[in-house]
Amino acid sequence: MRTEELLRAANAPLADIFEGLLADVGAHTRLSARDRALAELSALMGCGGTDAFRARFADALAEGLAPEAVREAVMQAAAYLGMGRALPFVRAAAQAFAERNIAFPPEAENGAEEDGQTRAVRGEALQVAIFGEGMRGFHASGDALTRPINRLLSENCFGDYYVRSGLTVRERELVTFCLLAAQGGCEPQLAGHVAGNFHVGNDAAFLGEVILVLLPWIGYPRSLNALGCVRGAIKA
């Protein structure tokens, strides 16, 4: 059942207003169907919208979004939400795939043949490609407090997730932008990933359209905060 149908069954006047907002947003965006679906699904995970995520997930698959792309976005959410908040979406995705008899080939166990240093170096290479030369040496940087997390950012966040197939690096930065924008309270990290998005081809106009698409799902305050991060990056 679509989100609008769920809402109409609960509150018809609110459904009328919400559908009007979706129509207004749709008239002002030229995002591809794939980018829009990835953005909305990522934002719904970021804001904890489990019911809306289930409905939008079903629509996205029906519209032709590749199951691998949805699966990768859900997996990436674990890095930016933490498994405590990502697990409901992992379970929802698994249920949706099972209901549609969608299966994925088995993968080798992560780390079975690669040590942490290999993954850290591989992840850092992606960080440099996304954020620039200032990230070179990042995995070994920092003091006694920050060095372990810096290493894990390279080794796990980028060396385990970003290197996977199913999404391009540009799409992964889009997913991350939406996960962070929808959470709220992550503006310092969001600002960094605005710059990363710029570097991989998601420019300010594109991110402006993304925020517009997210607004009905995450509300005005978080949308305005995200827009502020984009404006800040333009001025930098």
Domains of the chain: 3-102+165-235 (1.20.1290.10), 116-157 (no CATH)
Q: Which residues of the chain have pLDDT under 70?
A: 1, 109-113
Tokens 């290479």 belong to residue: 125
pLDDT of residue 3: 82
pLDDT tens string 109-133: 655 467 889 999 999 999 999 999 9
| Residue 110 confidence (pLDDT) | 54
pLDDT of residue 235: 84
Cα dist from 9 to 4, 6, 23, whole Å: 9, 5, 19
Distance CA 208, CA 223 (A): 10
- Contacting residues for 77 by C-beta, under 8 A, at least 6 apart: 42, 45, 46, 86, 89, 175, 179
Tell me how many helices (H) and strands (E) the chain has.
Answer: 12, 0
Distance CA(72)–CA(93), nearest Å, equals: 11
pLDDT of residue 112: 47
